[in-house]
């Protein structure tokens, strides 16, 4: 066969097989027999082998995956992949609707969608071709699982039509249908392996397999539900999904528009019953404002969009016996009582333990040992005790006496006024707290040191090889290789990972220190506001609380940490080791024209979003603060600003400026 003839036939077979994939896996309307499909596939594979110069990464022949074993690359999301805020009752749903109407000063149309119970994915397409598939990760960075995504036959690798944007991202949920999950477990049991717990965990685990040829055999599926990009065809989220269906994406036929919150509630009530007849799991309903321009106007909180909410269905409940209570010590010293239960099957898994949260919760529930208790999965994930069947209580029931000393180090427990939990105050001397701090330090969202898991940290600590997080940087390969289940290659990778962590940016290092109340978002705010650890260490209480979202409790905790002898000593060691304790150059403010000036932003703006305006303030040396006070220099006011905020600003005599006036200030 001539080369040009081979190219024509290869292209023809690729188009045919892509078409039949879509008919079978997306539309469930197969047009040809499996045998005929297989023959076409074999013909294509032979031609591609004979003419390798016509290789195409998006060929349908490559959906079988590869047996190469590679670690996943970390990719920064072009658009942060935030999770949704949840609600479990109608009242909170109506409150969401009121907030939306108040912010928009108008009613709006919603789109109701099934909340698929799987693992989130973001797919990028350029010129109609699949480019990349990235997991949620921490919302800012995710794993590039493109090789595994290519094996999922309901995800198109090349799009149909020609009216799609030149570049866009579409997000969805990868899941395992019930039938596929049952087949996998049937096979596992036949082979003597333990069955998988539930379809959600199985889907997430499968997507993270390093061997994409194994992923291909698992039968993952995917529904897509949200499109992002600069030039989307419609301002309507719903209309964009209908267009995406034409391009080849698997879009749920159950998505529906709702003109008001009553229609939303009707939809929820229908699917709360009907969900049991679906061939896959859903755990709730997602409600989104339909208009993309209104979504942009509503914006985001630090954790979730203001234009969407997730309604979670009520959890399944079972009854079992409370056998005993253990007490766990967390990395912050918080004591968590854990109930040991008579094993019971609940929402796809066998439950033996459940969190009791704190002493107040035990008292509120009126729990006794040997009680018959009701157990639910909070958000259908974490088991928790929600009540007692007092009618079944007998003479064997015993009071639960909450402990007064740390079960690990014997230190007397404390309880800060206004807080629910008891704490072990021996922060730097209690083994679980020390190990917890080290595990937090190496975690993915912090220093991201590969190869060091919980068991390895336990082993290193018990052998006396590390006593705190600074001790990680003194480890030698020769100390690791003799350890149990530790080969030379593993030891080498750990040492490389520890060395590479010296390049982790300042905001992640600050989060990794494990200062109480300083989570990811707070660490970013503090790093951005002060620019270096040296300035943060010397910050006054007033300077700290002046930073947006930093309250009294956080400020006090930061000061206590840097004033403690152990905190000072640890930071000094880590500075000598060479960790990044200053913001990188590209994150440092671009000018100091706003230095010493603080701003509160309120309302809706024409030229920039609120987040973009905050970045402009930071990049020009100013500070964003969350609430108005006498120390605020400017209220940057947009349209539809709340009258209460305006009135307070006027009472305080603050300077109120428009978007244009602000832009003039920074030139």
Q: Which residue has the tokens 């740390």?
A: 406
515 burial via Cβ count (<10 Å: 0-12, 13-18, 19+): buried
What would the two tokens of residue 294 be?
A: 């209104």
Q: Angle, to 10 degrees, between the axis of helix 199-207 and the axis of helix 178-190?
A: 80
Which one from 115, 377, 437, 614 is the annotated catalytic residue?
115
Nearest Cα residue to 154 out of 12, 18, 246: 18
Q: Who contacts 260 (Cβ-Cβ below 8 Å, separation ≥6)?
A: 97, 107
540 burial via Cβ count (<10 Å: 0-12, 13-18, 19+): exposed
Nearest Cα residue to 579 out of 472, 451, 475, 667: 472
- Answer yes or no: 508 catalytic: no
Whole-angstrom Cα distance, residue 639 to residue 103?
10
Q: Which residue has the tokens 């020390």?
A: 434
Q: How many CB atoms lie within 10 A of CB 321?
A: 16
In angstroms, how far is the first alpha carbon of the chain from the final one? 66
Whole-angstrom Cα distance, residue 552 to residue 658?
30
Nearest Cα residue to 288 out of 251, 248, 257: 257
Whole-angstrom Cα distance, residue 410 to residue 121?
46
Nearest Cα residue to 384 out of 349, 355, 350, 343: 355
Whole-angstrom Cα distance, residue 286 to residue 292?
16
CB 23 within 8 A of CB 31: yes
3-class secondary structure, 567: helix
14 burial via Cβ count (<10 Å: 0-12, 13-18, 19+): buried
Nearest Cα residue to 508 out of 145, 140, 75, 144: 140
Whole-angstrom Cα distance, residue 383 to residue 112?
28
Whole-angstrom Cα distance, residue 452 to residue 123?
30
Whole-angstrom Cα distance, residue 45 to residue 440?
47
- Beta-strand relationship, 129-135 and 221-228: unpaired
Whole-angstrom Cα distance, residue 111 to residue 264?
8
Cα dihedral 174, 26, 71, 167, rounded to 10, equals -100
What would the two tokens of residue 297 be?
A: 């106007």
CB 160 within 8 A of CB 244: no
What would the two tokens of residue 425 be?
A: 């105050």
* Helix intervals (H) in 366-407: none
DSSP string, 241-293: HHHHHHHT--B-TT-EEESSHHHHHHHHHHHHHHGGGSSS-EEEEEEEESBHH
Half-sphere CA count of 643, side-chain side, radius 13 A: 2
CB 149 within 8 A of CB 203: no
Whole-angstrom Cα distance, residue 132 to residue 512?
29
Q: State the DSSP code for 26.
A: I
Kindly list the catalytic residues.
115
């Amino acid at each position: 066969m001539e080369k040009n003839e081979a190219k024509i036939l290869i292209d023809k077979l690729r188009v045919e097989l892509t078409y039949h994939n879509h008919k079978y896996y997306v539309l469930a309307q197969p047009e040809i027999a499996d045998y005929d499909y297989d023959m076409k596939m074999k013909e294509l594979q032979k031609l591609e082998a004979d003419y390798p110069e016509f290789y195409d990464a998006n060929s349908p022949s490559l959906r079988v995956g590869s047996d190469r074993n590679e670690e996943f690359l970390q990719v920064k999301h072009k658009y942060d992949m935030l999770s949704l805020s949840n609600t479990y009752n109608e009242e909170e749903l109506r409150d969401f609707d009121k907030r939306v109407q108040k912010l928009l000063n108008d009613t709006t149309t919603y789109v109701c969608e099934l909340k698929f119970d799987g693992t989130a994915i973001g797919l990028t397409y350029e010129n109609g071709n699949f480019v990349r598939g990235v997991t949620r990760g921490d919302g800012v960075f995710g794993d590039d699982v493109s090789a595994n995504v290519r094996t999922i036959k309901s995800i198109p690798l090349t799009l149909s039509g020609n009216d799609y944007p030149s570049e866009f991202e579409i997000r969805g949920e990868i899941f395992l249908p019930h039938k596929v999950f049952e087949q996998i477990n049937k096979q596992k049991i036949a082979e003597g392996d333990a069955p998988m717990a539930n379809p959600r965990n199985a889907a997430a685990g499968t997507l993270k397999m390093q061997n994409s040829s194994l992923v291909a055999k698992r039968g993952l599926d995917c529904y897509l539900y949200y499109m992002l990009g600069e030039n989307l065809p419609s301002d309507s989220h719903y209309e964009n999904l209908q267009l995406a269906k034409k391009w080849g994406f698997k879009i749920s036929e159950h998505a529906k528009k709702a003109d008001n919150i009553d229609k939303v509630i009707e939809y929820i009530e229908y699917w709360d019953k009907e969900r049991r007849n679906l061939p896959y799991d859903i755990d709730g309903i997602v409600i989104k404002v339909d208009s993309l321009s209104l979504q942009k106007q509503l914006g985001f909180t630090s954790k979730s969009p203001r234009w969407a909410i997730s309604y979670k269905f009520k959890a399944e409940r079972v009854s079992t016996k409370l056998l005993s209570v253990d007490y766990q010590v967390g990395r912050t010293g918080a004591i968590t009582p854990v109930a040991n239960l008579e094993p019971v099957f609940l929402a796809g898994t066998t439950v033996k333990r459940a969190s009791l949260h704190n002493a107040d919760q035990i008292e509120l529930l009126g729990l006794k040992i040997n009680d018959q208790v009701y157990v639910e999965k909070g958000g259908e994930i974490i088991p928790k005790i929600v009540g007692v069947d007092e009618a079944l209580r007998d003479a064997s029931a015993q009071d639960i006496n909450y402990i007064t000393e740390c079960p690990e180090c014997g230190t007397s427990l404390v309880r800060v006024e206004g807080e629910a939990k008891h704490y072990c105050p021996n922060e730097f001397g209690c083994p679980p707290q020390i190990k917890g701090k080290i595990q937090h330090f190496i975690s993915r969202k912090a220093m991201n040191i590969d190869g060091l898991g919980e068991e390895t940290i336990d082993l290193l600590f018990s052998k006396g090889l590390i006593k705190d997080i600074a001790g990680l940087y003194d480890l030698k390969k020769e100390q690791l290789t003799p350890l149990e289940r530790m080969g030379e290659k593993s030891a080498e990778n750990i040492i490389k990972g520890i060395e590479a962590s010296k390049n982790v940016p300042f905001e992640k290092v600050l989060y990794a220190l494990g200062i109480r109340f300083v989570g990811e978002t707070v660490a970013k705010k503090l790093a951005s506001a002060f620019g270096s650890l040296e300035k943060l260490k010397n910050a006054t209480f007033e300077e700290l609380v002046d930073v947006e979202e930093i309250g009294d409790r956080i400020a006090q905790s930061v000061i206590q940490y840097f004033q403690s002898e152990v905190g000072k000593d640890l930071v000094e060691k880590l500075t000598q080791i060479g960790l990044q304790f200053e913001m990188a150059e590209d994150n440092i403010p671009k000018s100091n024209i706003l230095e010493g000036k603080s701003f509160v932003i309120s309302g809706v703006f024409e030229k920039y979003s609120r987040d973009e305006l905050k970045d402009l303030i930071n990049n020009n040396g100013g500070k964003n603060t969350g609430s108005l006070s006498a120390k605020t220099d400017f209220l940057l006011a947009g349209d539809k600003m709340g009258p209460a905020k305006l009135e307070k600003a006027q009472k305080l005599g603050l300077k109120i400026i428009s978007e244009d006036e602000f832009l003039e200030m920074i030139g």
